[in-house]
Structure 1
Amino acid sequence: MPLQKAVHDIATGEVVLRDMTPEEEAPILALWAKITDDARAEATKAAADAIARARAQAKLDELGIGTEDLKLLVR
């Protein structure tokens, strides 16, 4: 079974790893782990970015700096 088709079939639930030999399933499981690790890292970064933006906005609000004021400061 080609690796790309195997990954697709696993992702869509169309194949069960128990039907494969350990040699067949090892690269698929490794790739699947990388895909999920990459997705987790992207989600963590997005959450951290959102928190940082919210904190920055809260500080600007606390200081009474509006969007137009900020645009003038950046220039």
Structure 2
Amino acid sequence: MIKRIINFYCEGFSNMRTGKTLWLVVIVKLVVIFLVLKLFFMPDILQERAGEGNEPDYIMQRLGDISGDTH
């Protein structure tokens, strides 16, 4: 059953030139959008707050703060 479904899609995509081009455009646009969002809107907070080489200590401290606040 699954093999028939995969075969159906493979045959369909192999015969349509416009569809392949449109899928390529969509994939390229998504990659560009996510790369731009990552670069400009998602800073490396761990690197900013912990500093070089202190990441494990910072994480353990934050986990301790979180677990201590719940009691």
Q: TM-score, normalised by structure 2?
A: 0.40
Q: TM-score, normalised by structure 1?
A: 0.38
Larger relative contact order (Cα-Cα within 8 Å, sequence gap ≥ 6)? 1
